[in-house]
Structure 1
Amino acid sequence: MSQTPAPDESGHPSGFTHLDDSGAARMVDVSAKGVSARTATATGRVLLSAETVAALRGGEVPKGDALAVARIAGIQGAKRTPDLVPLCHPIAVHGADVDLTVADDGVDISATVRTADRTGVEMEALTCVMAAALGLVDMVKAIDPEAEVTRVRVEEKTGGKKGDWRRGD
């Protein structure tokens, strides 16, 4: 049995914007917010064996061009975020750049997603990185069953009511 938090001055239970007055999950109404240009950048890594890194560098992954597949998977992930994250608003993704850099111990992924909408694109950027990472893992799993996705995080965002933010570390 869950308890409903007491409403704050805005009427939301204890300031939880994704809960209604009874404590049930709800999608926040952003219709009164202004449209603004917004971006978010997220990063992540896929740790790989030396053999897999060599296969990527030599274009010898048995399934084909793993980096191209990962890039497309990332873009698709950004566009499909509200289908995967339950309370995420469907927004127009106006651009998604996915950069994959092969390092000696794996692949670094960076994704920047852009929109002009009423809510931010942090979830789209994170989903973009995760989808790219999963696409890459799928392409190399036959030669590297120990591939590991790690350090997925938002690095910065621009626009919106709260303005710009950049990770401090």
Structure 2
Amino acid sequence: MELTHINIQGRAKMVNVEEKAITIRRAIGYSEVVMKKSTLDRISQGLIVKGDVLSVAQVAGIIACKNTSSIIPMCHPLMITGCDINFKLDFESSKVCITSTVSTEGKTGVEMEALTAVSVAALTIYDMCKAIDKEISINNTILLKKTGGKSGTYERS
């Protein structure tokens, strides 16, 4: 199998996508931030001293999505046509579940943008709550689904 990110000298390269078809591409990323119950309660009640945790995390995730190619070396700069981040507070498991849905119309997919969005949103939650909860963990950062392009649809089972 030929690796598309490796040049003839065996070094990393950015894949050439000029021959690829322009299609609508979407990806859904997911991550979880596990914390103490008291921390989750404070987030839900708006009692975190640094401010509205989920609003700040949402904006941070969107900014990260739009700037993925600046921090992931082999990603192409993309015109993102949509980025939505949603949070679910799971009080039973004491975690915040984060989902990002990212779309573009282009020659390469937005999987990395979706994963970067949830990762930075999760890191922002950590940053805003670390003073009251040193045990916070970020888990299960995964691609749930992607559509478009030559390889078609992938959905995590």
Structure 1 residue 148 corresponds to structure 2 residue 134 = no
The alpha carbon displacement at 1:72 in A equals 0.5
Q: Deviations over 1:31-84 (max 9, x none)?
A: 111111000001110001011011011110111100000101110111111111
Task: Give distance in 1, aligned partners of 2:14 and 2:49.
Answer: 43
Q: Deviations over 1:104-157 (max 9, x none)?
A: 101000001000010000000000000100111111111112111000000000
Identity %: 40
Give the counterpart letter for 1:146 in structure 2.
Answer: E
Task: Give distance in 1, aligned partners of 2:29 and 2:123.
Answer: 15
Structure 1 residue 135 corresponds to structure 2 residue 103 = no
How many residues end up aligned between the 2 structures?
155
Task: Give distance in 2, aligned partners of 1:77 and 1:99.
Answer: 15
Which protein has greater RCO, CA pairs closer than 8 Å, 6+ apart?
2
Give the counterpart letter for 2:28 in structure 1.
Answer: T
Across the aligned residues of Structure 1 and Structure 2, the Cα RMSD in angstroms comes to: 0.8
Structure 1 residue 87 corresponds to structure 2 residue 74 = yes
Displaced runs of 4+ in structure 1, greater than 2 A? none
Q: Any idea what SS the aligned residue of 1:94 has?
A: strand
TM-score, normalised to structure 2, is: 0.96
Give the counterpart letter for 1:98 in structure 2.
Answer: I
- Which of the two has higher C-alpha Rg? 1
